[in-house]
Amino acid sequence: MQENVLLQMRNIDKSFPGVHALNNVDFTLRKGEIHALMGENGAGKSTLIKVLTGVYQMEKGEIKVEGNKISIHSPQDAQNKGISTVYQEITLCPNLTVAENMFIGRDKKSFINSKARIKRANEILNKLGIPARGSQILGNCSLAIQQMVAIARAVDMNCKVLILDEPTSSLDDKEVNMLFSLMRDLKSRGVGIIFVTHFLEQVYEVSDRITVLRNGELVGEYLTEELPQVELVSKMIGKELEELSSLGESDEKQSAEGEVFYEAHGLSSSEALPFDFSIKKGEVNGFTGLLGSGRSESVRAIFGADKVGGGTVKIKGKKVSITKPVDAMRHGIGYLAEDRKRDGIIAELSVRENIILALQVMNGMFKPISRSEAEAFADEYIKVLNIKTASRETPVGSLSGGNQQKVILARWLLTHPDYLILDEPTRGIDVGTKLEIQKLVLKLAEEGVSVTFISSEIEEMLRTCSRLIVMRDRHIVGELKGKDLNQTQVMKTIAGGEA
Amino acid sequence: MKNNFKRFFSSGLGQLTIPIISICLLIIFNLIRDPSFFSISIAHNNDGNMVLAGNLISIINGASELAILAMGMTLVTAACGGQDISVGAAAAIAGSVFVKIIKMCMFDFNSDIKAGYIILAFLAACVVAMLFGAFNGTLVAVFKIQPMIATLILFTCGRSIAYWINGGATPTVSSPIITAIGGFIPGVPIPTPVIIVVVMAVLFKLLFHFTSLELFTQSVGINGNAARLNGINSTFIKLLSFIILGICVAVAGTIGVSRLGLINHETLLIDIEMDTILAVAIGGNSLGGGKFKIGGSILGAYVIQMLTITLYAMKVSSTDVKAYKAVVIILLVVIGSPVVKKYFGRMVSKAKANRSEKKAKGAVE
């Protein structure tokens, strides 16, 4: 057993100003094992990974690889010592070929010849069963293939420990399966894989062992088969099971009978084909469909985020024109964008400034919100949404993903919208925050706010929405409500046909 | 008030560290070299006014145009993530317009220069400079051209335009009022350009207090996508930053003309664009846009001027000054670089850790 141990981290300690990110954490990885690292956002997963890859320096503790104590100074150093990481966002060069990407920045002498390089790349890709060729331009490959190329690169560098940080968050089911078979293949070759993800099903599908962190501390290490899914969740969020399941039962979804708040006919934009849509006051509905089915593009059209094509829009029965985001905001619509980093946060500005931004825009340039008022708003929402931040002046970019999302939610809540569009508000955030956001959505609906909710997790949408609009290939293909709102029916409609 | 103070030191000092340290170092250097460098005396100038004189005064006075341009440049940099390299040429145009309008008024009304003419001329210079600012701004904000490329156009042709305005001549304008703008107001011992800098700084402060321009500009500069989706019109914000810089250009041009009492389109504020950008950088502002501090840029302008005057005081010839300046600037820029900052940050946290460890040990013992 002991000689099987590949990587051992002992008593790891790391603090940031105001946060004890890792407190005496142990982690053990064995040869030929897929080990899931689980925890809420802010639990210390990323910090542990960054200590292991040399991005951060630990303050206490030791790291052993195959029994030898090592110290890791930089990501490059970690690679040289056999620890490779493939991040959520691909960090290769999309404009170079697959082969160039695999060998870039490595041994300079062995592959001067591009033909030889491509040949060698093809050998590796074949061996690992990756459907790509060395001569392809990386940017033309699908995200999944790009990720696999990154893995192939790591494997070819003789990595012993492979870290996959949220590798599946932008892949569809088929691609996830491809990735998993590659992971299993590597496992059989003796590579130890650390798998970080938010998708519980995937953990159970592929991992052998699970380590759970919470608030910077080790909760425990478990064999996957011996830990039921519900228990895993309760260990991650430290809440009792009943509380978790209660949300599912107590939801009296608002199948509101009230007046129609928003209505669109033939609405289209540069990105979305014409569609009809309406939402009632206090209603929660959702767009669902596979990635690329046009669900995000449709809600962006509602908010005027892309160039508007045509169609008529009525708010409370009155015809209005929404051609840019500020028009939508003036009519009481808020929009939480899908890509939090790109379209949501202003990373270097403080939590306070991020929270007041939308309200300030609505007030206009000449009515600035005073410092004290802004501080009061920020404090209020930090408390209401339980945002974990060192202070209201902390740059929002240094918060964890879930807390960044809460800041953006706070920004929109502060404008007291009548209609809130939430595009993937729970992506890449922890289970606890997910539940909080779902609860918040239901609470808003009770208060008469209309909400359109988009999520890749159908279960989450079933729990919150009273009506689901299903999209496929950029068209609305169905609308489900009442007793049709169940997983099988949604799947059927997404897939099409009666199968 | 106490809170404000605390806030300044916790948030502001980080960015202002480099300019403040540079000024302190220059002061210490000069104190060691020659304490009399700092002597300020009261002297009579040519008009018989009691005025302040001395190296310090000439530093603060001489940096006025630079400081004013740096204020506007900071805004453009923050919003657009790029710089306007045409400010010197645009100032020559503004100065030419200023002189041209005064001359036209004198000719039309057949009289000496009156205060009214000067106000009218200044306003005209402002309008023209704002128009050129809007031209640059349109290229950058609407056509999405890199700011340096967009402003290269005016940088190249600006002094020719200035040449045409006064038909190639370098007319003089002599009037007590003009002398007062470029020198001293009778009875006031402080140079007028310095007062104008203060006024401009206050105006900026008021602008940021009574509008949310600061928040919007930073948002546009940091994340244009997110700013747009929050309803900010980033095209307008970028355009506005160039127009505000235009006002700064007109003020700087007017001061420049008033100092000499003439417009020389070839030499007025020549090469000032690079110093302006440097002042913004020394002020700790990212040239890539985003968060900014106008105060930092003003300090940056004084650092540059102090350096120049120090070198002159050391009898370095004017041709050599640029080389010496470059050496110091290399040092400043390297010290302010992220790599060095990170290194110092680590040193500080290490020292703190050591101290707390020692304390802990002491407690155990």
Residue A91 phi, psi dihedral angles, 5° rounding: -110, 25
A108 — pLDDT class (breaks 50, 70, 90): low
Whether A249 shows a pLDDT value over 60: the answer reads no
CB contact under 8 A, A348 and B216: no
Nearest to B309 by CA among B109, B105, B31, B62: B62
Interface test with B, best of A361, A373, A375, A421 (most B CBs within 10 A): A361
pLDDT at residue A433, as a whole number: 82
Same domain, A148 and A71: yes
Distance from CA of B4 to the nearest CA of A (A): 11
Residues A336, A467, single domain; the answer is: yes
The top-scoring range by mean pLDDT among A232-246, B309-323, B343-357 is: B309-323
- Alpha-carbon gap, residue A2 to B73, rounded angstroms: 64
Highest mean pLDDT among A309-323, B41-55, B237-251, B298-312: B237-251
Contact B227 A346 (CB under 8 A): yes
Check residue B85 and give its pLDDT.
Answer: 96
The residue ranking higher by pLDDT, A5 or B17, is: A5
Is B231 close to A337, i.e. CB distance below 8 A? no
**Interface contact A358-B230, CB threshold 8 A:** yes
A172 and A268 belong to one structural domain: no
Mutate to test the interface with A, among B209, B210, B215, B241 (most CBs of A within 10 A): B215
> Which tokens in the block code for residue A54?
């040399």
pLDDT in tens, A371-412: 999 999 999 999 999 898 989 999 998 888 889 999 999 999
Chain B residues with CB under 8 Å of A358 CB are 230-231
User: Minimal Cα distance from A336: which residue of B?
Assistant: B229
Amino acid at A69: K
Q: Provide the 8-state DSSP code for A88.
A: S
Q: List the single residue in A342, A361, A365 with the smallest CB-CB distance to B230.
A: A361
Tell me the average pLDDT across A24-49: 88
Cβ partners under 8 Å of residue B216, min gap 6: A360, A361, A365, B227, B232, B237
Gap from A127 CA to chain B (nearest CA, Å): 41
Answer yes or no: do B210 and A366 touch at CB < 8 A: yes
pLDDT of the residue at B44: 84
Using the 3D structure, point to which of A200, A219, A246 is the last residue of a domain: A246
Q: What confidence category does residue A91 fall into, taking pLDDT thresholds of 50, 70 and 90?
A: confident
- Supply B8's token pair: 């300044």
pLDDT at position A257 is 63
Please tell me the distance from the alpha carbon of residue A37 to that of residue B62, in angstroms, as a whole number. Answer: 62
Residue of A nearest to B225 (CA): A343
Query: By the 8 A CB rule, do B31 and B163 touch?
Result: no
Tell me the C-alpha distance between B361 and A364, whole Å: 57
Cβ atoms of A34 and A187 within 8 Å: the answer is: yes
Nearest CA distance, B287 vs chain A (angstrom)? 15
- Our CA-based measurement puts residue A54 at a distance from the nearest CA of chain B, in whole angstroms, of 15
pLDDT at B361: 63
Give the Cα-Cα-Cα angle A20, B222, B329 (nearest 5 degrees).
90
pLDDT at A258 over 80: no
Q: Searching chain A, which residue's CA lies closest to the CA of residue B219?
A: A346
User: Contact A345/B223, CB-based, under 8 Å?
Assistant: yes
Q: Are strands A475-481 and A467-472 parallel, antiparallel or unpaired?
A: antiparallel
Residue B238, min C-alpha distance to chain A (Å): 14
Average pLDDT over residues B279-289: 90
Q: Which residues of A touch B (CB under 8 A)?
A: 59, 303, 305, 324-326, 329, 335, 337, 342-349, 353, 356-358, 360-363, 365-369, 393, 411
Residue among B11, B219, B233 whose CB faces A357 most closely: B219
Distance from the A397 Cα atom to the nearest Cα atom in chain B, whole angstroms: 11
Interface check B11 vs A, CB under 8 A: yes
Question: What sign results for the dihedral spanned by CA atoms B128, B133, B134, B138?
Answer: positive
Task: Examine the domain organization and report whether A268 and A161 are in the same domain.
Answer: no
Span of A209-213, B21-25, B81-85, B125-129 with lowest mean pLDDT: B21-25
Q: Mean pLDDT over all residues of chain A?
A: 85
Give strand pairing partners of A28: A8
Is A329 close to B209, i.e. CB distance below 8 A?
Answer: no
SS3 at position A468: strand
On the question of pLDDT at B364 being above 60, the answer is no
CATH number at residue A202: 3.40.50.300
Nearest to B230 among A347, A357, A365 (CB): A357
- Quote the Cα angle for A44-A49-A50, to 5°: 95
**Range with the lowest mean pLDDT among A264-268, B150-154, B342-346?**
B342-346
Which of B11, B215, B353 comes nearest A357 by C-beta? B215
Question: So what's the pLDDT on residue B132?
Answer: 97
Query: Distance (Å) from the C-alpha of residue A405 to the closest C-alpha of chain B?
Result: 13
The CA-based dihedral angle spanning residues B346, B348, B353, B358, taken in that order and rounded to the nearest 10 degrees: 140
Confidence bin at A109 (pLDDT 50/70/90): low
Q: Which comes out higher in pLDDT, residue A266 or A111?
A: A266
C-beta atoms of A366 and B229 within 8 A: no
Q: What does the pLDDT read at residue A254?
A: 45
The answer to whether A394 and A351 are in contact (CB under 8 A) is yes
Instruction: Please give the average per-residue pLDDT across B136-144, as a whole number.
Output: 96
> Each residue of B81-113: pLDDT tens digit?
999 999 999 999 999 999 999 999 998 888 888
Contact (Cβ atoms closer than 8 angstroms) between residue B271 and residue B88: yes
**pLDDT of the residue at A175:** 81
Domain residues for the domain of A114 are 2-246
Evaluate if residue A304 carries a pLDDT over 70. yes
Give the pLDDT band (50/70/90) at residue A193. Answer: very high
Test B229 with A343 for CB contact under 8 angstroms.
yes
Confidence of residue A303 (pLDDT cuts 50, 70, 90): very high
Chain A residues inside the 8 Å CB shell of B210: 366, 368
Cα of A444 to nearest chain B Cα, Å:
21
H-type alpha helices, B261-337: 272-282, 294-313, 318-335
How confident is the prediction for chain B on average, in pLDDT? 89
Domain count for chain A: 2
- Of A212, A228, A229, A211, the closest CA to residue A30 belongs to A211
| pLDDT surpasses 90 at B227 | yes
* Residues in chain B within 8 Å Cβ distance of A324: 231
Whole-angstrom distance, CA of residue B259 vs CA of residue B183: 6
The answer to whether B228 contacts A347, with C-beta atoms less than 8 Å apart, is no
Element of type H or E holding A309: strand A308-315
Hey, which bits of A50-205 come out as E strands? 60-65, 68-70, 83-86, 161-165, 192-196
Tell me which amino acid residue A273 is: L
B168 or A431, higher pLDDT: B168
Given a cut of 50, whether residue A241 has pLDDT beyond it is no
Are B212 and A329 a contacting pair at CB < 8 A? no
Domain co-membership, A253 together with A242? no
pTM for this prediction: 0.76
Contact of B228 with chain A, judged by CB distance below 8 Å, is answered with yes
**Same domain (yes/no): A314, A461:** yes
- Asked if B231 and A335 come within 8 Å (Cβ–Cβ), the reply is no
**Percentage of residues in chain A having pLDDT higher than 70:** 91
* CA distance to partner chain B, nearest, from residue A272 (Å): 17
- Per-residue pLDDT of A136-184, as tens digits, reads 888 888 877 888 888 888 888 888 899 998 887 777 778 888 889 889 9
pLDDT score, position B340 = 81
Angle between helices A114-128 and A143-156 (to 10 degrees): 100
pLDDT tens column, A324-352: 999 999 999 999 998 888 899 999 999 99
CATH class of B2-315: mainly alpha
The nearest CA of chain A is from the CA of B131 a distance in Å of 22
In chain B, the residue whose alpha carbon lies closest to the alpha carbon of A344 is B226
Please report the pLDDT score of residue B47 as a whole number.
Answer: 74
For residue B142, pLDDT beyond 50? yes
Instruction: Answer yes or no: do A300 and A416 share one domain.
Output: yes
Residue matched to tokens 């829009």: A313
Nearest CB among B210, B211, B222 relative to A346 is that of: B222
Residues A253 and A191 both lie in one domain: no
Q: Are residues A377 and A408 in the same domain?
A: yes
Give which of B12, B113, B153, B97 is closest to B268, Cα–Cα: B97
Q: What is the pLDDT of residue B162?
A: 95
> In which region does residue A238 sit, left (phi positive, over 0), alpha (psi from -120 to 50) or beta (all else)?
left
Is A360 close to B225, i.e. CB distance below 8 A? no
Cβ–Cβ below 8 Å for B225 and A349: no
In whole angstroms, what separates CA B103 from the centre of its chain? 29
* B213–A348 C-beta distance less than 8 A: no
Do A346 and A312 form a contact (C-beta atoms < 8 A)? no
